[in-house]
């Protein structure tokens, strides 16, 4: 099978897919329908990809374009899902879903909840989420590629965030927030002064 892997070109999943007998092309740049046709792509996996796939691409491989997202969808679609799962106290986890024309709104194939403590930092909890989604993918890949998992529609409105939403909140602690204990970070944000110029954090 010819697989197009979009996003993290150094992902260990690329080697996993090759060992499974697939031909894998890994890119992080924006792609076109012509690219997919030229390389006779059979399946697309998006993981950390920074570009939105338009309908002209989605229509080429219906049911064979998936995304790996480190949130428990429908919560925390979009940017910085780990950060917002703590700030808004929403379910934490990882999800593999079909890609549709929305942003992280496609039908769910598999997902898993994680129990993450506020004693963690965003950096350590992010690593746990990354490891969890890699294992979830490996465990379910055979069923995903053969279409043996019935997609399930996302239930509820969920939440969505843009990159700039977080940037406004962490202004003044940009170099510290990833390694603060999450409990301390949340307390800081809840009591955030108008200006961080004199912050001792």
H/E element holding 6? strand 2-7
| Three-class DSSP category at 23 | strand
Q: What is the pLDDT of residues 128-152, one digit of tens each?
A: 999 999 999 999 999 999 999 999 9
Give the distance, in angstroms, between the CA of residue 70 and the centroid of all CA atoms in the same chain: 4
Tokens at residue 166, please?
């977080």
Q: What is the pLDDT of residues 19-62, one digit of tens each?
A: 999 999 999 999 999 999 999 999 999 999 999 999 999 999 99
Please report the pLDDT score of residue 199 as a whole number.
37
Q: Where are the beta strands (DSSP E) in 40-175?
A: 43-47, 65-69, 77-78, 93-98, 108-113, 160-161
Which residues are registered as beta bridge partners of 7?
A: 47
Nearest-CA neighbor of 51 among 1, 3, 86, 4?
Answer: 4
- β-pair type (108-113, 93-98): antiparallel
Measured distance CA(102)–CA(129) in Å, rounded: 23
pLDDT at residue 94 is higher than 90: yes
| Three-class DSSP category at 168 | helix
N residues, the chain: 201
Confidence of residue 193 (pLDDT cuts 50, 70, 90): low
| Domains recognised in the chain with CATH numbers | 2-160 (3.40.50.170)
Tokens at residue 114, please?
């994680």
pLDDT at residue 79 is higher than 90: yes
């Amino acid at each position: 099978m010819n697989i197009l892997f979009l996003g993290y070109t150094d992902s260990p999943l690329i080697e996993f897919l090759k060992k499974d007998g697939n031909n894998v092309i890994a890119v992080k740049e924006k792609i076109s329908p012509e690219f997919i046709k030229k390389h006779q792509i059979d399946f697309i996996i998006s993981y950390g990809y920074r570009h939105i796939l338009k309908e002209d691409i989605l229509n080429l491989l219906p049911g064979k374009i998936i995304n790996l997202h480190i949130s428990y969808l429908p919560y925390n679609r979009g940017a910085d899902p780990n950060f917002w799962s703590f700030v808004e106290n929403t379910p934490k986890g990882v999800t593999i879903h079909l890609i549709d024309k929305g942003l992280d709104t496609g039908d769910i194939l598999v997902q898993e909840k994680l129990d993450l403590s506020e004693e963690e930092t965003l950096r350590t909890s992010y690593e746990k989420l990354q490891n969890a989604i890699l294992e979830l993918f490996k465990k379910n890949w055979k069923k995903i590629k053969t279409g043996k998992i019935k997609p399930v529609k996302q239930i509820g409105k969920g939440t969505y965030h843009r990159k700039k939403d977080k940037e406004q909140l962490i202004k003044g602690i940009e170099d510290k927030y990833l390694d603060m204990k999450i409990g301390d970070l949340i307390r800081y944000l809840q009591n955030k002064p108008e200006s961080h110029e004199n912050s001792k954090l």
